[in-house]
Amino acid sequence: MYSKEEKKQIKKNFWTSLEDKLSAKGKAKGRNIMWMNYPTKIRDLYFRIEIDKTSAKLCIDLQFLDNGVREVFYEQFQEFELKLNQAFENGVHFVKDYQHSNGKIISRIYTELLNVNFYDKKDWDKMQPFIIDNFLNLDDFWLEFSDVFHNLL
């Protein structure tokens, strides 16, 4: 069991390491990728990374207040399901009505790596490449198809 301070340090080390690796891989592609505040340039459409004691996830969160707008964006992402399955190495999952940790109902599209523990540093060697590779693929997808989503507004 870790103390509160140890958990804080583990989180800091993981995210700093991940950011450094993702930045280096992005720069190798000629891109400066900011995973924490990825510039989708669409308000209420976010790319998120979630990690815990059981899995690592890369998520596309549709947090539009207007349910109709959220549904239109969700359906448009469904039209790209084949492309997203190609981009995400473990496939893609669609959840139309997902209850976010903040209590709001959003739509979520995600890929995940199961049976990894954020607090087990040995698992970082599985988690970080999974997140980085999938995030870079998501970035490629967004570069190619973002205009389709911008035109929905």
| Beta strand segments in the chain, E | 45-51, 55-62, 93-99, 105-114
pLDDT higher than threshold 90 for residue 30: no
Average pLDDT value for residue range 11-31: 92
Average pLDDT value for residue range 39-68: 96
CA distances in angstroms from 6 to 2, 12, 24, 25, listed in the order given: 6, 10, 27, 29
What is the percentage of the chain residues whose pLDDT exceeds 70?
A: 100
Range of the domain at 98: 4-150
Summarised one tens digit per residue, pLDDT across range 102-153 is: 999 999 999 999 999 999 999 999 999 999 999 999 999 999 999 999 999 9
pLDDT higher than threshold 90 for residue 35: no
Q: What is the pLDDT of residue 2?
A: 87
Cα-Cα-Cα-Cα dihedral sign, residues 115, 116, 117, 122: positive
pLDDT higher than threshold 80 for residue 13: yes
What is the percentage of the chain residues whose pLDDT exceeds 90?
A: 88
Q: What is the pLDDT of residue 148?
A: 98
Number of domains forming the structure of the chain = 1
Q: How far is residue 55 CA from its own chain's centroid?
A: 13
